[in-house]
Amino acid sequence: MPGRRWRAPGRRRGAGAASVPAVEIRVFWPLAFPCHSRRVTDSATRLLNWYAGHARTLPWRSPPGAPLPADPDWPYRVWLSEIMLQQTTVAAVQPYFTAFTARWPDVAALAAADDADVMQAWAGLGYYARARNLLACARAVVRDHGGRFPGDEAVLRSLPGIGDYTAAAVAAFGFGRHAIVIDGNVERVTTRLFAIATPLPAARAVIRSRLAALVPAAAGDFAQAMMDLAGRICTPRAPRCEACPLRPDCAAAAAGNPEEYPVKPPRRARPVRHGTTWWIEAGGAVLTVVRPARGLLGGMRALPSCDWQGKAAPPLPGDWHDLGTVSHGFTHFALQLQVLGQRLATRPALDGDWLPISQLDGAGLPTLFAKAAVLARSQPDRMEAR
């Protein structure tokens, strides 16, 4: 099968400094697209060369062109990062990743962790079903795979919380397998490169077909390069086409309309729900509860709250003070949450735990209830003890 070599930049011999060994990757191209083979080869090579000089240094990523770490727990770190990065930025994930890997350095340690500890450590990352799936997946790997992640995409997809993207990412980044890794960043670059006018999500079949002809043997580096390119140059708005290594081949750049891609269907307005949460304070402590395991924010510590479908009876009678409303967006709806507060002289007998107000910041409250707590604490004079 014909091939092309990609060589990571190093100093030329005789340049007055010690020679840096070049990293060589042999990139193979499918023969099913002979009329596009030159363009495909050049595009991938230019992208990999750009990546060699611009790759971000991240704790879950091996350097471009380098062999994967020999650490048997490397796939665990890749998997953990990919779950955390879903719907979350790299900047937000890095401190969580550092804390998780320090506390649970391998999949066996995570599998043995207490659910409440993991949920508390996850607080602030959002999309809390990911944390529940994190535990379920870790326990499945220990139970069914001897504590080692499988490298096969199909087997990975059978694990809790792992879909097509994550399976491909773990296979490519964790095991060096040839896999087509497609996330929103890769979709944006690919639709612009080939001016794919089919709206998402229907365009995904076309995107995969195009990438099948483009992804080289160095699939992990290629996918990471696409993601870094999307984050730094091929941005959703105001892409820096003049600095893009793919510009010579980019159909959208040639047409002068890269921001029109990817084509998305008309956005539906998110419905707005209304709910109530209750701040019950007594003796310098506030009542907290653990939400049901299933459902939004399942298993998380929270303030007492209704089901967010409308009005509900408060946990106890009395004169409730309206402290205001906090807004929060979920994937499928926006929530307007009214915060009602009451300060009591003694603690009533209610289900839940009384947590010192001074410890709330480290209690692992999800963002919604952290907002409500900030609102309540900002106006102590609004509540009177009775």
Give the CATH number, domain containing residue 343: 3.90.79.10
**Residue 300 within a domain:** yes
Tell me, yes or no, whether 161 and 186 share the same domain: no
Tell me, yes or no, whether 15 and 56 share the same domain: yes
Helix axes 219-232, 37-54, angle to 10 degrees: 70
Going from the C-alpha of 185 to that of each of 52, 87, 191, 199, 210, the distances in angstroms are: 19, 12, 10, 15, 15
**Residue 266 within a domain:** no
pTM greater than 0.85 (yes/no): no
Residue that terminates a domain, selected from 119, 149, 175:
175
The predicted pLDDT at position 39 comes to 54
Tell me, yes or no, whether 163 and 193 share the same domain: no
The predicted pLDDT at position 7 comes to 39
Distance CA(248)–CA(203), nearest Å, equals 23
The predicted pLDDT at position 307 comes to 81
The predicted pLDDT at position 296 comes to 83
**Residue 265 within a domain:** no
Tell me, yes or no, whether 170 and 236 share the same domain: no
H helix runs in 195-349, sequence order: 204-212, 219-232, 251-255
**Residue 252 within a domain:** yes
Which amino acid appears at position 267 of this protein?
R
The predicted pLDDT at position 155 comes to 98
The predicted pLDDT at position 386 comes to 53
Structure-token pair, residue 206: 């076309």
CA pseudo-torsion sign 332, 333, 334, 336? negative
Specify the number of domains making up the chain. 3
Tell me, yes or no, whether 159 and 227 share the same domain: no
Tell me, yes or no, whether 236 and 367 share the same domain: no
pLDDT lower than 70: segments of the chain: 1-41, 310, 382, 384-386
CATH code where residue 34 lies: 1.10.1670.10
Range of the domain at 293: 272-382
Neighbouring C-alpha atoms within 13 Å toward the C-beta of 12:
2
**Residue 105 within a domain:** yes
Tell me, yes or no, whether 299 and 338 share the same domain: yes
Q: 353-362: which pairs have CB atoms within 8 A and are 24 or more residues apart?
A: 353/287, 353/288, 353/289, 353/301, 354/282, 354/283, 354/285, 354/286, 354/287, 354/288, 355/285, 355/286, 355/287, 355/288, 356/284, 356/285, 357/281, 357/284, 357/285, 357/286, 358/284, 360/286
Residue that terminates a domain, selected from 154, 175, 196:
175
Tell me, yes or no, whether 28 and 163 share the same domain: no
Tell me, yes or no, whether 365 and 288 share the same domain: yes
Catalytic residue set: 82
**Residue 351 within a domain:** yes
The predicted pLDDT at position 266 comes to 83
SS3 at position 322: strand
Tell me, yes or no, whether 301 and 369 share the same domain: yes
**Residue 223 within a domain:** yes
Residue that terminates a domain, selected from 121, 144, 175:
175
CATH code where residue 81 lies: 1.10.340.30
**Residue 241 within a domain:** yes
The predicted pLDDT at position 243 comes to 97
The predicted pLDDT at position 38 comes to 53
Tell me, yes or no, whether 284 and 346 share the same domain: yes
SS3 at position 161: coil
Name the one residue in this structure whose structure tokens are 């727990």. Answer: 73
Burial readout 222-231 (b: 16 or more C-beta within 10 A, e: otherwise): bbbbbbbbbe
Q: Is residue 359 a contact partner of residue 296, using CB atoms and an 8 Å limit?
A: no
